[in-house]
Each structure stands twice: as C-alpha cells, then as structure tokens.
Amino acid sequence: MRAADAFTIKNKEITSIDLMESASMAFVKAFAEEVPDHETSIAVLCGKGNNGGDGLAVARLLKDKGYTNVFVYLIAFSSKVTEDYTANLKRLEDLWFPLVTVSKAEDLPELKEELIIDAVLGSGLNTELDGEYKLLAQRVNALNRRVIAIDVPTGFPAEGELRKDSVYLKADLVICFERPKINFFFPESAQAMKHFRVVSIGLDEDFIQKTSSSYQLAEALDIRGLVKPRESFTHKGTYGHALIIAGQQKTMGAALLAARACLHAGAGLTTVSVPESGLTAINTALPEVMYLDRADLQPDTLEKFKAIAIGPGLGTGKETADILKTIFQLKVPLVIDADALNVLGNSPDLLEQLPSGSLLTPHMKEFDHLFGAHQSWWDRLETARKKARELQSVIILKNQYTFIIDQTGDVTINPTGNPGMAQGGMGDVLTGLCASFRAQGYSAKEAAVIACYLHGKAGDELAETEISVAASELAGKVSGTLKGLIK
Ligand SMILES: NC(=O)C1=CN([C@@H]2O[C@H](COP(=O)(O)OP(=O)(O)OC[C@H]3O[C@@H](n4cnc5c(N)ncnc54)[C@H](OP(=O)(O)O)[C@@H]3O)[C@@H](O)[C@H]2O)[C@@H](O)CC1
Ligand SMILES: Nc1ncnc2c1ncn2[C@@H]1O[C@H](COP(=O)(O)OP(=O)(O)O)[C@@H](O)[C@H]1O
C-alpha cells in the first residue's frame, strides 16, 4: 500500500498532502454514514505521524460537514513530526480550532465526548505499544466509549504475529484505506476491533492490481470470471463424475451432506461410498446419487472418476489409511478432509505420498494435527504457505475468513460466510463442493476459490432471514446462489 501511495503521488501528479486530504474525505464520508447525528460529541486523538495528520484533517472536515462538537487532542509523546501532519496542524490553528496537548498519558483529561476517533498511530507502527502509548491505550479502553479508528487501531500491526498480551486501543469500527490489512482476517484481531470497512482514497488502481502481492481477496467478479457457463449439447458426461468416500454407521449424515452439495453444485454424476447400512438413506434422501461398495474401492474401479473426496465422518481406523494408500496411487484429483486429514496427521510417511495437485480442507485443529501446534494465526498461515509449496497442493484453511493457499504459497482470502454457519456439517458441504468443481474440470485452486466463495455466499443469503443455517439447507441452495453469482 505504501508503494501504491508513492506511485500515485508520482504518477497522478497528486501531492502527499492532497492524498491525505483525499483519505480524510473518504473517512469522513463513511463516518457520516455510521454517525449521522451531527450533535454527537467527538474527541479526535491525533499522534504526530501521518495517521495523526489524517486525524487533524478529519476534525476540520467534520466541522465543515456540520458536526458541532469536535475536540482535538494532540498526543505529543514523540518529538518527531511528519510534514503533512505539520501542514494540517497549521490549517487547524488558522481556524482557531481548540487544541489540547497531551504530553503524558496521565495528562489526558477525563474525556466527556461520546465518541473517540483514534488517529494516534496507524500503519507506521514498528513495534508493539509500550510506555506512554500503552498507558494511553489502556486509559482510553477503560472509558468504554465508542471508538472509530482511522486506518488501523493504534498498536495493531498491519501484518505479523498478533500476540495475546499486546495492548491495542480497541476500536468498535476501523475505517481503513484502500485495502484491508491481512491481520484484520485473523481471529486474534477481535482483541483490537469489532468491524472494519474499507474506503477508496483514489490510489492508482491499475498499479495496485499489477503490484504483486501474496494476498488476494476473493470477489464476486473473480467467481464470474472463473465459472464456465453450461453450454448447449453438453450432457452429464461433460460435468464429471465425482466419488465421495465418507460416513460410518453413526456419521452417515456427513456423507449425505457432502454428496448433496456435490450434486447441487453441478457434478454430472455423484457416487458415494458408504457402509452398506447407509444405502437406504442415500436412496431415500438423494435419489440422483449412486452407491459404491467399500469393497469395490480398487484401482481399476476408481480410475474412472474425475475427482475423489475422502474423509467426512469416515473414522480414523486402518480402513481409512488403506483407502488413502490406494487412492494415492491414482491419477485422479483428490480432496482430503476431516478424518482422512487426521489419519495423515498420524502418519507422516503417508502424508509424504500425497499426490501433487491435491486439495486439503483442514479447520484449525486438523491443520495443527497435520503440521504441528501454532501459537498464532500468522504463524499458522506461514506454515500453510510453506506446506502448500512443499506438497505442491492447495490448502483450504477454514475459519470465519477462510484462507486458500495455492502451490506457490499465495493466499486468497474468502470474505463470504457468517456466524450463522457455525454448525456441524458445514465443512462436509464444503468438501462436496470442492469435489464437484474438481470433477467439472476446474484446477485445485479454482475449485477451492469457487467452492469457498459459493459456500459462504449461500450461507449469507440464508442468514438474511435465519439466525442459524443448517448445512443440508445450504447444500440445497448452492445451485441458485451460483446462478445469481454468474448472472
Ligand atoms: N496509502 C495510504 O494508506 C495512506 C495512509 N495515510 C495515513 O498514514 C498512516 C501512516 O502514517 P506514518 O507512516 O506516518 O505512521 P504513523 O502510523 O502515523 O506513525 C508514525 C510514528 O509512530 C512512531 N511509532 C511507530 N511505532 C511506534 C510504537 N510502537 N510506539 C511508539 N511510537 C511508534 C514512529 O516513530 P519512530 O519509531 O519512527 O521513531 C513515527 O513517529 C496510515 O495509517 C494512514 O492513516 C494517509 O494519510 C494517506 C494515504
Ligand atoms: N462464523 C463463521 N463465518 C464464516 N464461515 C464459517 C463460520 N463458522 C463456520 N464457518 C464455515 O463452516 C465450515 C466449518 O467446517 P468444519 O469445522 O470442518 O465443519 P464440520 O466438521 O462440522 O463439517 C468452514 O467452511 C467454515 O469456514
């Protein structure tokens, strides 16, 4: 983002102070939507860097917009100032704007304002907060006021490990510039912020798009670009035959959910391999789906499938390990989930035989069982990037924001989905979707991106009218959601 900043200043003939003005205007526009009442009393806490400069400009622009109770506190813990901060301070002084200087955290007056704008430190943070900044953050946090941060909460690193014992100036909302920071997507960010929204500040979009970054955010447009329309004269053979190896006596539902999702996501044919006791359930619940006896999981039978998913509800016994050994010998694209992942976690030798181009779909616990315990999500993601390269496979690391890591270690972040989806069976549905798109001929990465986006999007649509979303319902919805996405 700093490179885009510099490029825009150079190539769009825009000065850095103008860019700060543009950023502050974008902040104020979003702020006005969040806080429409112009009588709201607002304290703007400004550090001495460019984040503080934004705060000064925001205070002035809020006044211009009709906010009548805006007060500025200059957090003067450092002797260094930036040029644009100084210019914006002068603009405020010229307006006779009342300014309170705070040289030590203990000098911060008992703030009476209902709302605090945090412009103390932004993305220039180079280490975790300590000293006066830490005391200030703790004092402000203790006030329990509504806080809206400019760009990032003070003390929150845009990237790198988020330590559990770090102190942040906690924000209810962060209005950030141009692109979200990678650390916003980790569960640990909840210690520092509740929500974020992104505003455009006019940086050169072409430059941002062309600048290579290891992180991409999946968007509806990407899905539209990836999904191929169903052409005339095609038939069930065109859309691939997927096999799902899943389920035991007491976890047959996992197999049904995965198969249901596979079917509704458009695979030409879906077959499940479950214990024979599940046959009636399959025939009753999913008449389109075919059955393959476990005893028939032999190389010559399996070669005909266009994709095989294995794991949901399968159990971690010897049978699972034996099936894995068999399917690892094939040239069929694989999707590995749940118990199959746990078996690989128990046997590193088997993991080494994983065919390249496979798709692994672990949640946090399965991931740590496979690759070792992690203290932070940053570290976990770094391991995922390393392992995806080593295994030449795609890893879907599931969470509220799911990370899709490709064979080069690049990360696509999936923004769809919601807490209504926090219910058993949701992962089984995702596995069925992955199998379906792999069978339809999409690459492991394409299948992962389409499946994750679609999964969350269908969940979001259901959550518009429901508190919680059942996995079977979501599986039945994906076809309609996909149609809406590619229209
Ligand atoms: N393209 C964009 O995104 C745009 C971004 N813009 C805005 O600029 C912001 C970034 O501004 P920035 O680079 O001046 O850094 P900022 O966060 O104000 O802090 C710098 C000061 O903090 C200090 N410091 C650092 N860590 C510390 C610590 N742990 N504890 C104590 N001090 C610490 C550091 O001191 P130093 O360590 O260097 O001595 C330095 O003095 C960005 O968030 C956004 O709001 C827009 O205006 C325009 C377009
Ligand atoms: N709060 C949430 N927001 C978005 N997605 C969620 C949320 N909770 C769960 N999910 C999604 O649901 C799925 C859960 O997977 P998993 O834990 O393997 O479920 P199960 O084992 O019950 O099938 C993941 O794809 C995850 O991204």
ipTM: 0.91
Residues of the chain predicted below pLDDT 50: none
Phi, psi of 268 (to 5 degrees): -65, -45
pLDDT at 11: 66
Cα(313) to ligand 2 centroid in Å equals 15
CA distance 322 to 347: 12
- Which atom of ligand 2 lies closest to the CA of 396? 25
- Within 8 A by CB and 6+ apart from 213, the residues are none
Nearest CA-CA partner of 24 in 202, 148, 201, 181? 201
User: Can you give the pTM of this predicted structure?
Assistant: 0.92
**Which residue type sits at 10?**
K
pLDDT at 381: 97
- Which atom of ligand 1 lies closest to the CA of 8? 1
427 is annotated as contributing to ligand binding: yes
Query: Using a 6 Å cutoff on CB, does residue 51 contact ligand 1?
Result: yes
193-199 β-sheet, strand order: 99-102, 70-75, 42-46, 115-119, 146-150, 171-177, 193-199
Query: Using a 6 Å cutoff on CB, does residue 366 contact ligand 1?
Result: no
128 is annotated as contributing to ligand binding: yes
Mutating to test ligand 2, I would choose from 336, 367, 421 the residue with most ligand atoms within 8 A of its C-beta, which is: 421
Convert the pLDDT of each residue in 273-304 to its tens digit. 999 999 999 999 999 999 999 999 999 999 99
Residue nearest to atom 14 of ligand 2 (CA): 427
Helix (H) or strand (E) run with residue 352 in it = helix 348-352
126 is annotated as contributing to ligand binding: yes
> If you ran DSSP here, which 8-state letter would residue 229 be given?
P
CA distance 430 to 338: 11
Give the tokens for residue 15. Answer: 């000065």
CA distance 285 to 213: 45
CA distance 127 to 124: 9
Instruction: State the alpha helices, DSSP H only, in 373-443.
Output: 377-391, 426-439
Residue nearest to atom 33 of ligand 1 (CA): 125
pLDDT at 205: 75
Q: Which residues sit with their C-beta closer than 6 Å to ligand 2?
A: 363, 398-400, 402, 417-419, 421-422, 424-428, 430, 455-456
Instruction: Quote the distance between the C-alpha of residue 386 and its chain's center.
Output: 19
SS3 per-residue string spanning 283-334? HHHCCCCEECCHHHCCHHHHCCCCEEEECCCCCCCHHHHHHHHHHHCCCCCE
Give the tokens for residue 240. Answer: 């691939």
CA distance 282 to 267: 17
pLDDT at 335: 98
pLDDT at 10: 63
Q: What is the fold of 2-212? A: Rossmann fold (3.40.50)
pLDDT at 108: 94
Give the tokens for residue 49. Answer: 């860097």
107 is annotated as contributing to ligand binding: no
- Within 8 A by CB and 6+ apart from 288, the residues are 263, 270
Report, in this order, helix, strand and coil percent for the chain, each rounded to 5. Answer: 50, 15, 35
Mutating to test ligand 2, I would choose from 359, 363, 423, 433 the residue with most ligand atoms within 8 A of its C-beta, which is: 363
pLDDT at 97: 85
Give the tokens for residue 476. Answer: 């039945």
400 is annotated as contributing to ligand binding: yes
363 is annotated as contributing to ligand binding: yes
Cα(126) to ligand 1 centroid in Å equals 9
Cα(426) to ligand 2 centroid in Å equals 5
266 is annotated as contributing to ligand binding: no
Strand partners, 307: 242
Cα(78) to ligand 2 centroid in Å equals 45
CATH of domain 220-486: 3.40.1190.20
| Extents of the domains making up the chain | 2-212, 220-486
pLDDT at 96: 83
Integer-rounded Cα Rg, in Å, for the chain is 26
Residue nearest to atom 26 of ligand 1 (CA): 125
Residue nearest to atom 1 of ligand 2 (CA): 419
